């Protein structure tokens, strides 16, 4: 959107968030499906991202890292834009989409002026996570269906079909 003088009106602004610290808020209505912003920052290897943050306190859940693929991580703490301040929510109004190894934030639904932008971080669990990882990545989004964590839900092991299932032709539990 442009003003009469040709200046572009920003779509979002950063301010204090009731969810956590700093957040990103819409300045005007945003239609469902709108590409809102690109998540930018320095593009580094996973090894470099690990090296940069290896000395931090294990209880520190604050990160500006976004995994693009198995080779690239975006570190928005270096050269990042306001997208790094979009908070997590278990019932988000936005989603992130990786396109050509770039990360964009899209509106999942119509967003009203002054509404905080959120997306589900779905932080991946690791085999070497500390036992209190759920507490470290505690969620405070306040959504009715809040998982209580910014972590992705645990993967359920696939149930193997038993001989009895196969004999019945039970399609509900495919192998």
CATH number for the domain spanning 66: value is: 2.170.270.10
Tell me, yes or no, whether 11 lies in a domain.
no
User: What's the structural domain count of the chain?
Assistant: 1
Tell whether the model's pLDDT for residue 9 goes beyond 90: no
pLDDT at 76 over 60: yes
Confidence label for 123 from pLDDT (cuts 50, 70 and 90):
confident
Helices (H), the chain: 46-53, 133-136, 163-168
162: in domain:
no
Cβ atoms 100, 72 nearer than 8 A: no
User: What pLDDT, on a 0 to 100 scale, did the predictor assign at position 162?
Assistant: 56
Instruction: Give the whole-angstrom CA distance, residue 83 versus residue 62.
Output: 14
pLDDT band, residue 134 (cuts 50/70/90) = confident
Is 44 part of a structural domain of the chain?
Answer: yes
Asked if residue 65 lies in contact with residue 74, where contact means CB atoms within 8 angstroms, the answer is: yes
Average pLDDT over residues 106-120: 97
In which domain, by residue range, is 42 found? Answer: 35-107+119-153
Burial readout 147-160 (b: 16 or more C-beta within 10 A, e: otherwise): eebbbeeeeeeeee
| Residue 47, in any domain of the structure | yes
106 beta partners: 35, 95
Residue 167: band (very low, low, confident or very high) from pLDDT cuts 50, 70, 90: low
Give the per-residue pLDDT at 173: 44
Domain annotation covers residue 132: yes
What is the sign, positive or negative, of the torsion defined by CA atoms of 110, 12, 139, 41? positive
In a domain, 166, yes or no: no
pLDDT digits (tens, 9 = 90+) for 139-161: 989 999 999 999 888 775 666 65
In this predicted structure, the answer to whether residue 136 has a pLDDT above a threshold of 80 is yes
Within a domain: 8: no
Buried/exposed code over 88-122 (b: 16+ C-beta within 10 A; e: otherwise): bbbebbbebeeeeeebbbbbbeebeeeebbbbbbe
Residue 99 lies in a domain: yes
**Cα–Cα distances in angstroms (integers) from residue 129 to residues 4, 82, 123, 125, 126, in the given order:** 54, 29, 12, 7, 5
Percent of the chain beyond pLDDT 90? 61
Q: Indicate whether 175 pLDDT > 50.
A: no
Task: Give mean pLDDT, residues 64-83.
Answer: 95
pLDDT above 90 (res 96): yes
- pLDDT averaged over every residue in the chain: 86
Residues 5-33 have a mean pLDDT of: 91
Up-side HSE of residue 58: CA atoms within 13 Å toward CB? 8
Rounded to two decimals, what is the model's pTM?
0.80
Mean pLDDT of 127-131: 83
**Cα-flanking dihedrals φ and ψ of residue 137, to 5°?**
-105, 40
């Amino acid at each position: 959107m442009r003003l009469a003088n040709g200046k572009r009106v920003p779509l979002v602004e950063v301010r204090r968030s009731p969810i956590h610290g700093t957040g990103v808020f819409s300045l005007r209505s945003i239609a469902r499906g709108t590409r809102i912003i690109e998540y930018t920052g320095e593009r580094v290897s996973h090894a470099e991202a690990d090296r940069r943050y290896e000395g931090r306190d294990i209880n520190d859940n604050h990160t500006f890292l976004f995994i693009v693929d198995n080779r690239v991580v975006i570190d928005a703490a270096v050269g990042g834009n306001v997208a790094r301040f979009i908070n997590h929510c278990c019932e988000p109004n936005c989603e992130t989409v990786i396109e050509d190894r770039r990360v964009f934030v899209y509106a999942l639904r119509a967003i009203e002026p002054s509404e905080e932008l959120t997306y589900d971080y779905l932080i991946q669990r690791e085999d070497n996570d500390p036992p209190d990882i759920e507490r470290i990545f505690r969620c405070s989004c306040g959504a009715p269906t809040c998982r209580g964590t910014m972590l992705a839900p645990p993967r359920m092991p696939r149930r193997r079909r038993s001989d009895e299932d196969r004999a019945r032709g039970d399609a509900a539990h495919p192998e």
